Structure 1
Amino acid sequence: MNGEGKESKEVKMEEAVNKERVVFMWGYLPGALPQRTPLLSPVNVQIPASAGCSWTDVCGGGCGFAMAISDSGKLITWGSTDDLGQSYVTSGKHGEIPEPFPLPTEVSVVKAAAGWAHCAAVTENAEVYTWGWKECIPSGKVFGDLPMGTNLEKDVFERQNSLLAEQDKQIDICSCWYTHFMKGEILEVSPRSQGSRSSGGTFSAADSKGGGEEGTKRRRTSSAKHSAESSSSGDETLSALPCLVTLNPGVRIATVAAGGRHTLALSDTGQVWGWGYGGEGQLGLGSRIRMVSSPHPVPCIESSSLGKDRASALSRGSLSSERQSFRVPGSYVKGIACGGRHSAVITDAGALLTFGWGLYGQCGQGSTDDELSPTCVSSLLGIRIESVAAGLWHTVCVSTDGDVYAFGGNQFGQLGTGGDQAETLPRLLDAPSLENTNVKIVSCGARHSAIITEDGKIFCWGWNKYGQDPWKYIFAYLSQCCGVWLKLKTEILSSRCLKQLGLGDVIDRNIPSQVTIEGCSPKNIACGWWHTLLLAESPT
């Protein structure tokens, strides 16, 4: 091995100094360009002069707005503007030019996440601020500490369940209905039907692209009534300004994840906290509590259910055909992810646990059942999972060996398996483009996925445009995610293409396809609902 002298060290230092971090974006950000056209290929994002000199991280963003962090610790947002709804309602009033978001603290932001129309940010003081749709914003104080490890106090959870049950009774019946204003109509979508349940590895997604619109009911409203209800349910009542999340004394948050209407936070000791909507079990509290208005501890490491992967389990001769309780490998949680209405966590031992809505198999348990509590994905036992990401209806994870596994909805090729068959069990991606490649970073948008490999390649796949009937997909999309009054102008519902894959065209991809950006070294990638952000190093 050759040694390094003073001269070689100086050269390396000079190279490091001469590299700057840049952000690229592509896809659909309504306010990102004056024409509100989607970005077909990666475009450089200019950092505002008031925010610092460079970027430190990308955070994806929500529906139509993007978020990233500058080297000065400022949270930078851009995208949707007032007349297009989403991000304006989250009190950011984002515009075409990226600007620092006005948080009520000067402390630097280190992590951030966004759901459909709510956001959360973690400061260097390990505190969490959140804002956006009021139903996603916690209020009140948690009732007590949650011990780590196996010594969970039974009375704590009994009190928690009692509190949640009482809170659930007080929820107005309107919260069960997802209601939206659409062109003078109220679009009401009933809670999803139970539908047919299935077990096994795959099922056809051809009939599920509508995403539950069969439960949709519309009724006409007069323009007068529409105007009255709009004024009484405006931004000031539906949205909340940034506020500090109240946690127990001594709890320090390391990172956050945001789903359609729920949020998870991970402490520096590996404890998961959750709040927001939990009607499908996405908060992991063991029930279908619809709204959790204060942060509650999610019991992940205590005895967990073992998934219903009967074939895999029986082949190992380790389980009966019924779900069993067992000790989760690991002593704390090291990673979290939120999808549209499901969640996933990873333990320090590399075990993957999922919970929440399972209609498309996005929990990876071999069935389409909802998982109300964190449940170990048994087919991945023995494979150490390093990172996980979740989309609207799908989940993608990466092992320490650099392999990619995907499961859940696949209507637009978002699993990267080469077809449109949903997968209820994790499936290893064996596309030729990933042969002899180790994946390091993964992210999911609503219906698309993205990865960065060890050798610095970028791959994207999934939804790249609206289909032949954009209204159908939009109605289904909103019904799955929002559950609140939503302002949208008709132009966002036109047949624009959402080129979130950055491949220069509008064709969906069902296998990982490489995105090329010359002269840059990728460092992180983060998908918003309809767009993608890339953090890269570029020579100055």
Structure 2
Amino acid sequence: MAQGSLFVCFLNPLVIMCLWNLRMIYYSTLNAGNGEVYTWGWKECIPSGKVLGEPAVDKEVNDGQSSFLAQQVSPHPQGSRSTVGAVSGIETRAGEDSAKRRRVSSAKQQAESSSSGDEGLSALPCLVALNPGVRIVSVAAGGRHTLALSDIGQVWGWGYGGEGQLGLGSRIRMVSSPHPVPCIDSSSSLRKDRAMGLSHGCPGSEGQGLRVPGNYVKRIACGGRHSAVITDAGALLTFGWGLYGQCGQGSTDDELSPTCVSSLLGIRIESVAAGLWHTVCISADGDVYAFGGNQFGQLGTGAEQAETLPRLLDAPNLENMHVKVVSCGARHTAVVTDDSKVFCWGWNKYGQLGLGDVIDRNIPSQVSIDGHVPTNVACGWWHTLLLAESPT
């Protein structure tokens, strides 16, 4: 197995750590690999559930020191496990007791803050309670909402939904527990007033609902206030905030339910990423399509004009390139090609493009990675991480 290296883009990419078998990069929401999901951070985005800590601490809190935790815990079919190890390096009993009291006090304060409705942060991972038998294989975290994808292609959502980013058909401001998102049914039909490219193969006749191609969802992505999913047939659906055209529906309307991006029908979409105001997707042919806000060049079109419909990037730097990975930050974008080239564009105030300066780019610009083979990339709001392997 080749050794994996993690790079952070700060003006120029720097190796910050080396790990064996490093494959995925997560933040705020974690798929544990056994079908369970953990979340942490802003409590508004965390479903009601148990704050995990030391096993002994959990027992004491549940035994009466916090009625809130006892009321909020939902049983999980496989049971729950703590991800925080026991305190180590404490030499005396007094020290152990003191540490335990501090942790109990911290857990109690967090619980009381949640029960009183105060906004705050959860520093410890919380196990998300789902229906029995639901096994999660992928998660995506947005600005204030979360989507999770099960092993049978069902999408679940929770958090803030005021712009429709949860896809539940209305402007629900708060969903405190996971709800199924109806992506492939009659409510997820094509927008008939905007339908384009129907000759590419979406069944239906005038006056009838047009069914979304596919039987289940295989990819999910969350932006600041919008979401995107891809079906097994390669259809792209978007929902949520549309002010800058980031839903790709040809307008700036919000989409309250998952809606097929009809201009891409006939083009099999394999991957999608969402930023604060923009969306970028990759086709099976390795082409890149971008739409939404473009104030900092994050679409890579060479201009600053927003795009309300998907636009194929035909930049010279991407000519004859087959893109396989895409990630979006708040206002920047990064891709990795089949031949392990990395391109970034958009906002660069903090050096997040890894180009050696802080100048914005409105076209894809290649990042130099000497002595390593890039395999994956992940953009944070204002930074970028790159996963690369050492040459064998």
What is the TM-score of this pair, normalised by structure 1?
A: 0.57
Q: Does 1:327 align with 2:211?
A: yes
Paired residue type of 1:282: Q
Match of 1:254 in 2: 137
Local SS of the residue matching 1:306: coil
**Which of residues 505, 514, 524 in structure 1 aligns to 2:357?**
505
**Which of residues 121, 145, 152 in structure 1 aligns to 2:30?**
121
Shift in Å, 1:455: 1.0
Match of 2:341 in 1: 457
Q: What aligned pairs does 1:53-452 form with structure 2 within 5 A after superposition?
A: 53-59=19-25, 112=26, 114=27, 119-139=28-48, 238-240=120-122, 241-303=124-186, 304-307=188-191, 310=194, 312-313=196-197, 325-452=209-336
**CA, structure 1 residues 318+528, in 2 after alignment: closer, same or farther (shift >3 Å)?**
closer
The separation in 2 between residues aligned to 1:317 and 1:334, in whole angstroms, is: 20
The separation in 2 between residues aligned to 1:263 and 1:310, in whole angstroms, is: 28
CA-atom RMSD in angstroms: 2.5
**CA, structure 1 residues 58+532, in 2 after alignment: closer, same or farther (shift >3 Å)?**
farther
| Preserved contact between residue 305 and residue 323 of structure 1 (Cα < 8 Å) | no
Cα displacement string for residues 152-174 of structure 1 (whole angstroms, at most 9, x for unaligned residues): xxxxxxxxxxxxxxxxxxxxxxx
Match of 2:4 in 1: 21
The separation in 1 between residues aligned to 2:8 and 2:207, in whole angstroms, is: 44
Paired residue type of 1:120: T
**Which of residues 371, 375, 378 in structure 2 aligns to 1:523?**
375
Cα displacement string for residues 204-263 of structure 1 (whole angstroms, at most 9, x for unaligned residues): xxxxxxxxxxxxxxxxxxxxxxxxxxxx99xx9611231110000000000100000000
| Preserved contact between residue 190 and residue 211 of structure 2 (Cα < 8 Å) | no
The separation in 2 between residues aligned to 1:316 and 1:20, in whole angstroms, is: 44
**CA, structure 1 residues 323+404, in 2 after alignment: closer, same or farther (shift >3 Å)?**
farther
| Preserved contact between residue 254 and residue 266 of structure 1 (Cα < 8 Å) | yes
Unaligned 5+ segments in structure 1 are: 1-16, 27-38, 48-52, 60-111, 142-231, 466-497
Cα displacement string for residues 121-160 of structure 1 (whole angstroms, at most 9, x for unaligned residues): 111211001111110001169xxxxxxxxxxxxxxxxxxx
Unaligned 5+ segments in structure 2 are: 51-112
| Preserved contact between residue 156 and residue 178 of structure 2 (Cα < 8 Å) | yes
Local SS of the residue matching 1:312: coil
The separation in 2 between residues aligned to 1:531 and 1:337, in whole angstroms, is: 18
Q: Does 1:533 align with 2:385?
A: yes
| Preserved contact between residue 368 and residue 424 of structure 1 (Cα < 8 Å) | yes
Cα displacement string for residues 265-300 of structure 1 (whole angstroms, at most 9, x for unaligned residues): 000100000000000000000000000000000000
Shift in Å, 1:310: 3.4
Paired residue type of 1:536: A
Shift in Å, 1:525: 0.5
**CA, structure 1 residues 305+324, in 2 after alignment: closer, same or farther (shift >3 Å)?**
farther
| Corresponding pairs, count | 325
What is the TM-score of this pair, normalised by structure 2?
A: 0.78
**CA, structure 1 residues 120+329, in 2 after alignment: closer, same or farther (shift >3 Å)?**
same
The separation in 2 between residues aligned to 1:258 and 1:402, in whole angstroms, is: 25
**CA, structure 1 residues 411+20, in 2 after alignment: closer, same or farther (shift >3 Å)?**
same
Local SS of the residue matching 1:243: strand
Shift in Å, 1:311: 7.4
